[in-house]
C-alpha cells in the first residue's frame, strides 16, 4: 500500500510517501522566519506557495504517480490553525480529485511511531521534545498514549526560540542557539522540576535578564550554554523519574529538539547508568516531515479505517492523549 503523508502543523510543509514501512520519499520545505517568530498568515502563504512543487517532487522521488497512491494521510493537529488548514485542504482536494481514502493523524503520535519503527523498539518510554511540546509518554495495553509528565508552560524548543529572539539573534532558532552555546561556561540559572513536570518560564526570564546585563559575546555564549544545559538537565531528571516509575528498559527521544546532540549525549549517559537502551531516529525524522505522517497513517488506517469526511477538519489542540476520544 502506497501512503502519501502531508505535514503542515507549523513552519514546515512536507510530503512523504511510505510503502509497507519503507520510506520512498520525504520532501521537506521549511519556512525560515528569521527572528520574527511564527506568524500564522506567513506560514500558510508559504505552505500554499510550495505545496504543488513539494507534491510533484515527492511523487517523483518515490517513482509513482498520484493514481498509484492508495491512502492520503494528513497531520490533523496539534498545530497552528492557518498553516494546518493548508495541509488539510490539500489532502481533502487530492482525496476527492483522485478518489482516495483519507486518514487524519495526530502529529505527536506520528513522531513517536516513526521513531519506534526506525529504532526497532517496542513499547518504550518516550520523551517527546519540540517547539510546542515537552512530554513524557507511555502507551497503555490498547496502544493509546498517556502523558506521565509535561511542561506546565512552554515547550523546550519555544524556550530556546524565545531566548534567541530576546538576544536578537538573526536566526532565532534552537539549532542556531546550540551553535552559539558551543564552548560556553556555566552560570547559575533557576532549575524548576515538579515531579515529572517541567517549568521553563522562570528560567527564560532569568536567562534574558542575565544576557541583558552584559552584551559581551562571550557572556551571551555562557548564558546560552547555561540555558541549554539547565533545561536539558531538568528534562533528564523528569525522564529518569519516569523510567524508574514505569521500570521501562527502553527510551526513545523524538521531536525537533531530540536532534540536539548535547541532549542526546546526556540521555545516553543517563541510560547507560540505568541500564536502559536509548534510541533516537535520524534527524530527518525528528524534523516535521511527511513520511512520519504517512507511516502513522498506515497504522491508523489498519486499525480504524478511513477518517469520515465530517471528522477531517484541523484540531489545533489535538493532544496525543485525546486519540481514544477522537479516533476510537
Ligand atoms: Fe513536530
Q: Give whole-number Cα distances, 108 to 12, 140, 159, 183, in Å.
A: 15, 16, 19, 33
pLDDT band at 69 (very low <50, low <70, confident <90, very high): very high
Taking the centre of ligand 1 as the mean of its atom positions, its distance from the CA of residue 111, in whole angstroms, is: 7
d(CA 2, CA 276): 35
Q: Ligand 1: distance of its center to the CA of 213 in Å? A: 34
* Measured distance CA(276)–CA(266) in Å, rounded: 13
Q: Is the pLDDT of residue 96 over 90?
A: yes
- pLDDT at res. 300: 98
Whether the CB-CB separation of 145 and 320 falls below 8 Å is answered with yes
C-alpha of residue 215 to centroid of ligand 1, in Å: 33
CA of 128 to the centre of ligand 1 (A): 9
Report how many helices (DSSP H) and strands (DSSP E) the chain contains, helices first: 11, 12
Query: What is the per-residue pLDDT across 33-64, written as a single tens digit (0 to 9) for each?
Result: 888 888 999 999 999 999 999 999 999 999 99
User: Which structural domains are found in the chain, ordered by start?
Assistant: 2-110+285-327 (3.30.420.40), 123-282 (3.30.420.40)
Strand intervals (E) in 170-265? 193-194, 197-198, 250-254
Segment 293-322 shows an average pLDDT of 97
Cα dist from 275 to 103, 244, 278, 307, whole Å: 38, 11, 9, 41
Residue 251 is placed in which grid cell?
527510551
- Give the distance from CA 83 to its chain's centroid: 16
Residue-wise pLDDT for 105-146, tens only, equals 999 999 999 999 999 999 999 999 999 999 999 999 999 999
Distance from residue 265's CA to the centre of ligand 1 (Å) = 21
**Is the confidence at residue 271, as pLDDT, over 90?**
yes
- Residue 172 CA to ligand 1 center (angstroms) comes to 17
- Give pLDDT tens digits for 176-188: 999 999 999 999 9
Centroid of ligand 1 to alpha carbon of 256 (angstroms): 6
pLDDT at 93: 98
Task: Tell me the average pLDDT across 150-161.
Answer: 97
Q: What is the structure's pLDDT at 328?
A: 81
Tell me whether residue 40 is exposed, middle or buried, using C-beta atoms within 10 angstroms of its C-beta: 0 to 12, 13 to 18, 19 or more. Answer: middle
State pTM to two decimals: 0.97
Q: Write down the mean pLDDT value for the chain.
A: 97
Q: pLDDT grade, residue 246 (50/70/90)?
A: very high
Report the alpha-carbon distance of residue 307 to residue 300 in Å, rounded: 9
**Cβ 228 vs Cβ 181: under 8 Å:** yes
State the pLDDT at residue 109.
Answer: 98
Cα 210-189-163 angle, rounded to 5 deg: 55
Amino acid at each position: 500500500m502506497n501512503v502519501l503523508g502531508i505535514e503542515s502543523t507549523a513552519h514546515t510543509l512536507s510530503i512523504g510517501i511510505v510503502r509497507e514501512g519503507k520510506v520512498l520519499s520525504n520532501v521537506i520545505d521549511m519556512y525560515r522566519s528569521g527572528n520574527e517568530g511564527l506568524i500564522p498568515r506567513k506560514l500558510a502563504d508559504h505552505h500554499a506557495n510550495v505545496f504543488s512543487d513539494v507534491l510533484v517532487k515527492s511523487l517523483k522521488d518515490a517513482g509513482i504517480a498520484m493514481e498509484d497512491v492508495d491512502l492520503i494521510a494528513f497531520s490533523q493537529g496539534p498545530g497552528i490553525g492557518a498553516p494546518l488548514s493548508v495541509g488539510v485542504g490539500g489532502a481533502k482536494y487530492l482525496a476527492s480529485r483522485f478518489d482516495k481514502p483519507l486518514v487524519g493523524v495526530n502529529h505527536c503520535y506520528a513522531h513517536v511511531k516513526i521513531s519506534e519503527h526506525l529504532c526497532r523498539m517496542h513499547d518504550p518510554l518516550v520523551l517527546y521534545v519540540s517547539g510546542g511540546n515537552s512530554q513524557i509518554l507511555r502507551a497503555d495495553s490498547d496502544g493509546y498514549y498517556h502523558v506521565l509528565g509535561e511542561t506546565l508552560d512552554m515547550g523546550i524548543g519555544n524556550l530556546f526560540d524565545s531566548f534567541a529572539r530576546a538576544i536578537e539573534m538573526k536566526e532565532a532558532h534552537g539549532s542556531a542557539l546550540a551553535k552559539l552555546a558551543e564552548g560556553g561556561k556555566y552560570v547559575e540559572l533557576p532549575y524548576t522540576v515538579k515531579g515529572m513536570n517541567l517549568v521553563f518560564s522562570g528560567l527564560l526570564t532569568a536567562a534574558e535578564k542575565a544576557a541583558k546585563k552584559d552584551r559581551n559575546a562571550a557572556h551571551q555564549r555562557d548564558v546560552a550554554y547555561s540555558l541549554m544545559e539547565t533545561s536539558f538537565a531538568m528534562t533528564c531528571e523528569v525522564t529518569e523519574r519516569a523510567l524508574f516509575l514505569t521500570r521501562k528498559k527502553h527510551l526513545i527521544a523524538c521531536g525537533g529538539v531530540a536532534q540536539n546532540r548535547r541532549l542526546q549525549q546526556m540521555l545516553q549517559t543517563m541510560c547507560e547508568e540505568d541500564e536502559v537502551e536509548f534510541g533516537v531516529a535520524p534527524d530527518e525524522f525528528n524534523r516535521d516531515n511527511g513520511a512520519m505522517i504517512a507511516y502513522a497513517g498506515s497504522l491508523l488506517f489498519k486499525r480504524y479505517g478511513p477518517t469520515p469526511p465530517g471528522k477531517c477538519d484541523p484540531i489545533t489542540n489535538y493532544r496525543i492523549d485525546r486519540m481514544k476520544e477522537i479516533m476510537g
